[in-house]
Each structure stands twice: as C-alpha cells, then as structure tokens.
Amino acid sequence: MSTPASVLDAAIAHAFTGLREGRESFAPKLTPHEVGTITSISTGIATVSGLPGVGFEELVRFPGGLLGIAFNVDEKEVGVVLLGDYEDLRAGDEVERTGRVTDVVVGEGLLGRVIDPLGRPLDDKGPVPGNERWPVERPAPAIMDREAVSVPLQTGIMVIDALVPVGRGQRELILGDRQSGKTAVAIDTILNQRGKNVLCVYCAICQRASAVAKAVARLRDGGAMDYTVVVVAEGNEAPGLAYITPYAATSIAEYFMEKGRDVLIVYDDLTHHARAYRELSLLLRRPPGREAFPGDIFYIHSRMLERSTHLSKERGGGSLTALPIIETEAQDISAYIPTNLISITDGQIYLSPTLFELGVLPAVDAGKSVSRVGGAAQREAYRSIAGDLKLAYSQFAELETFAKFGTRLDDSTRRIIDHGQRIRACFIQPESQPVAMAEQIGVLFALSVGLFDKVPLEKMAEGVRNLRGAAAKMPPEVAARLSTADKLSDADRKVILDIATLALAPLQPPPPPKPAAEPAPEKKPAGGPAPATKPAPAAKPGPAPKPASAAPPQKEPAMKPEATGKPADPPASAPQPAPPAKAADKPAP
C-alpha cells in the first residue's frame, strides 16, 4: 500500500510545481483596442468618432458583423462606407477597428462559383473553400515585369477577330447604348474560351438579379462555369459593395495570373461603378466636378485597369485581359466617362444602335471600332486574308449612305456596295454560337477572293452555313497550320479555295449561255430587192395595209397647199400615212 501512496504524492507535487511555475512566468499584456461611436448615418454612409488610429481604407466592424471601409479620415471624425444592410444601425452604436484592409478569398475553389465582393457564396453550393485572402487594392505590375501583347484571344465573333483583334493582356473597351448587345458580346467571348486554357471572371456591377441569373444560365448551358468565377453586386445592394466589386474581381483574376495562367475578366459595367462612386463622394461631401463626378473618377478606373497586363517569363508569363463595358447615351461616345475609358484602354468596340435595328448582329461599327494592338494580336493567316476587309467594309459604309438618296452610281461604286453588302451578311452571327478559327478563315478567304459576289443576298446566310460546315472538315494538317505564326502557303490556299468553291457552287447562278452565231445572209437573184440588214420594227396595230398594186383612194384636201404654204393636217380619226418606202423596198415596175 505504501508504493501507490508515494506515486500519488509525487504526481500531486509535480502538478502543483507546474502551476507555480506557470503563475510565476505569466506576465499580463494589454492590447490596445480602439472603439468608436456612430454619430450619424445616411444612405450607405456612417460618420464615426473616436477612432484616432484608423487608416485609410481600413475595415471597421459594426454591431451585427457589418463591415465598413474608412474612406474619409478627418481630424475629428471618420467617414465610413458601409458594405451591407445598415437598417439596424443607430447613432451611438459602437464601432471597432479590425486592423486589416478590405480583402477577398482567392484560390482554385472559386471556379464555378457565384460570390459577392466579400467572398460570401450566392449559390447553393455551400461555403467557399480556400483560406488565402488577397487585398482588393493591389499595385499594378511594374513596367519591367511586362511583355508585349503577341498572343491573340479568340472571341469566336468573326467581325471582331477579323477587324478588331484582341490580344491576351490587352484592355479592349466595349461601349454602346443600352440594349445594343454589349453583354452578349462579352458572354460569347467567355463561351469561346472553352478548351483554350483561359480562365474567366465575370463581374456584374449593379445589374438586375434577373439579368445576372440569365447570364449565369447561359454560361452554365454552354459549359463555361467550369472555368469561370462570377462576382456579383446586385442593383439593390449598398453602393459601397458596388464600388469594391471590380477591385475584388481583379484580385481574384490576378491570383490565377500570378500562377502563370491566362485570364479574361469582364466588367459589366463600369458606368454603374462610376455612378456608385459619385453617390458615395457626394454623400461624403467631397467637391463635385464635371457631371457631378469627383475629381479622381479617372484614377479609380485607371489604377484598376493598369493591373491587366501580360507578365514576363520571369514572372510566370501569365496574362490578364480586360473587357470593360460602358453604356453610352444617345450614341454619345464623347461623354465624360466614355472618353475616360477610351483614353485608358487599348482600343474600343462600338456597337451601333442603327445596325442593331437593321438586324445586323453583333452590331459592331467597324468605322468607330479600333484595336491599338492591331495585327500583333492576330494570326498570320488572318492578316494575309482579312487585311483589306476593314477598308472595303468602311468604304461600303460611306457609299451606302449616298446610295440611299437614289443617286446614279458607276460600275465601280456599285461593285464596292455589292461586295460590302456581302461582307456585312457574312459578319451576321447568331448569339451564343462562337465560330471556330478554321471556319472563320474559310469564310474570310471566300470573301477576299470574291466567291460570295456571285451569291444572291437572300442566299448569303445559307452560303455561310454551308461554307462553315465544309471548313469544319478541313484536313487536320491544314487546320493546325492556321493557328501558327507562319503564312499560308500556296497549297493551303488552294485547299481552302477548293473547299469554298465546292460549298458555294450550288448557290451561284449558272453562267449565261453563249449567244448563237448569226446565220449568213441569203443571196438574192440579180435585179431583185436588196436584203435588209436589220429586221424592221414591229408596226403598231392599226388598219390592215392594202396591196401595193391597188391605188389609194383620192381625197380632196381641205385647203390647197398653195394657199397656206403648209400641208394640211390630217383628220384625227384618219390613220397616219405610212412613211415613204426606201428605194430598196420599192416594188419592181
């Protein structure tokens, strides 16, 4: 019995020794914890006092877990932008600092998910996986870390890939009036990236919930959600959420770019983003400028779009291509926000309401659309085939206006108009049906050599379908050479020409028959009448002529010619006398 008692005493003594050592080594530390107080609340804005150490754009926490961004840091108070529903907040509630800036979750687990700017899920797939978080505001890559844009980003839209090419790492603006097809162009571009090793981020800013649901459904039906992340701030959300949405989406896209991936991001649209920032600035009593926008409205877009680039090989070689969307009013592309974005981006795609009303979809205006990267972001096969198409299409657009006035056109002008009408007909493309590169080159090659010029306009849609179907069966070795940087060889051109000619042959009218040779004139016997060189024109119906041998009846003239000096007019009812017969037609005596 003595042995167990000694063991128990030793264990108790050891436990107390540990407690005594822990008590002696414990040194309490005081952590400063700043707490402020809400002084006033307005639409999406709260004024807070008592946070002397808060930093610019630092997150603060309100009762109920609501977050806000310290936007105006003044001497005595702080203007905070609220990031959620603020109906339960009251003046006098406590506010505490978080010590971190606004961030968002990033990672591979976001692919196929629909989230809000704070990383909270909006779909029915449970919590968003991933523990890594990146700040929504990050500096753009340095100039020495970038490379020139040289790899094309195929949109699957023929008029864009041929006339306004987009490269990986480029910033291409899409602008036009509302309901002109801007979102459709962006969604079709995302759908065309399937199987091309390009990840996509679709950022919806202040869009209707029904419009966002429709866009997500189109992406899901097209199989694009497997490589797409959707970041949404609906129109009924707080303006602070709409403000940080494009920055959060850019951070998500940058995560994949830093991993060496090619990423496409769509901002739909930055007009609502600018209006949300204007609303916040006016509520924070910042001085307004042109169109009531604050003075730094240019900077909030430029610092975001500068993060889209093509990284050097030392940085992984990834790229981030941006397609910002802007809504114009009454086709005015010289307004404040559109001109800001035009000067920031590397080109623009303008969608014309006039072409949209004519049924030319997508309604891309080739005259006002431009890509400042140009042929550097285009395959050599495109450059060799579609080089003159934009000039021919622009000439057609100019001449078409004059042709509407009914002016007489010469043959060369008529040929330009006819060729331009067929170019426009080939560029008409249904929604959600991207065109593969081989099919595009087949159609463009047929346009450049004039094979479509003989196809009637009412059969152009059928001709394009036939040619696309035939080009899809192009020999694999020829189709593989189209995606390289080499020029098309004569053998490749002959293969494409044969395919196009065979596909369009049933729609072209048959050639006119050759005129038959005129028979030689028959010889007449001597003394007879000479043969007439041309057939006499058909005589007008009238009284039957009398035989030449019968003498015409004599009729007394109403007045003798000698008395008046003029021949008398025949009566109205009397038939006109036949012209005198030629010498060759007089009968023989």
| Cα–Cα dist 457/584, whole Å | 52
Q: In the beta sheet, which residues pair with residue 416?
A: none
Alpha helices in 530-588 (DSSP H): 561-564
What are the Cα distances from residue 525, in Å, to 168, 286, 522, 548? Answer: 88, 111, 10, 22
Going by the DSSP 8-state scheme, the letter that residue 358 receives in this structure is T
Nearest-angstrom CA–CA distance, 208 and 448: 43
CB 168 within 8 A of CB 309: no
Comparing CA positions, the residue from 90, 390, 379, 82 lying closest to residue 241 is 82
Is it true that the peptide bond before 145 is cis, omega within 30 degrees of 0? Answer: no
Tell me which residue of 81, 87, 54, 79 sits closest to 68, measured CA to CA: 81
Q: At 248, which helix (H) or strand (E)?
A: helix 239-258
Which tokens is 466 given?
Answer: 């036939």
| Whether the Cβ atoms of residue 48 and residue 95 lie closer than 8 Å to each other | yes
- CA 267, CA 204: separation in Å to the nearest integer? 7
Measured between alpha carbons, how far is 96 from 129 in angstroms, rounded to an integer?
Answer: 27
CA angle, 284 then 286 then 292, to 5°:
110
Strand 173-176 with 319-327, pairing: parallel
Nearest alpha-carbon partner for 141 in 169, 108, 175: 169
Q: How far apart are CA 531 and CA 584, in angstroms?
A: 8
Instruction: Classify residue 403 by burial, with Cβ atoms within 10 Å: 0-12, 13-18, 19+.
Output: middle
Indicate if 372 belongs to the active site. Answer: yes
**What whole-number distance in Å separates Cα of residue 337 and Cα of residue 289?**
12
Question: Rounded CA gap, 303 and 284, in Å?
Answer: 22
C-alpha span between 448 and 432 (Å, rounded): 26
**Six-digit token string for 355:** 């072409």
**Catalytic residue among 372, 383, 481, 493, which?**
372
Alpha-carbon distance of 198 to 374, in angstroms, equals 21
SS3 338: helix
The DSSP H or E segment spanning 492 is helix 490-504
Residue 518 tokens read as 């005129």
Asked if residues 298 and 340 have their Cβ atoms less than 8 Å apart, the reply is yes
In order of 76, 214, 493, the CA distances from 384 in angstroms are 66, 39, 11
Which residue(s) pair with 78 in the sheet? Answer: 48, 73
Angle at 241 between CA 239 and CA 243, to 5 degrees: 70
What residues are annotated to the active site? 372
